Amino acid sequence: MIEWFTWVQLAVAVVAGLMCIALGLVGRVPSDLTIGALALVEVLLVAQLVVAIAAPASGNEPSGSVLEFYTYLISALLLPPAAAFWALVERNRWSTVILGVAALAVGVMVYRMLQIWTVQQA
pLDDT at 120 over 70: no
Q: In whole angstroms, what is the distance from residue 114 CA to residue 98 CA?
A: 24
Helix/strand number for the chain, H first, E second:
4, 0
Task: Give domain limits for the chain.
Answer: 3-118
CATH number, domain 3-118, options 1.10.1740, 1.10.287, 1.20.120, 2.60.40: 1.20.120
Distance CA 116, CA 110 (A): 10
Asked whether residue 122 carries a pLDDT value surpassing 60, the answer given is no
Which region among 54-58, 80-84, 99-103 has the lowest average model confidence (pLDDT)? 54-58
104 pLDDT higher than 90: yes
CB atoms within 10 A of CB 66: 13
Query: Is there a contact between 97 and 24 (Cβ–Cβ < 8 Å)?
Result: yes
Give the whole-number percent of the chain exceeding pLDDT 70: 98
Q: Which of the four pLDDT bands, split at 50, 70 and 90, describes residue 62?
A: confident
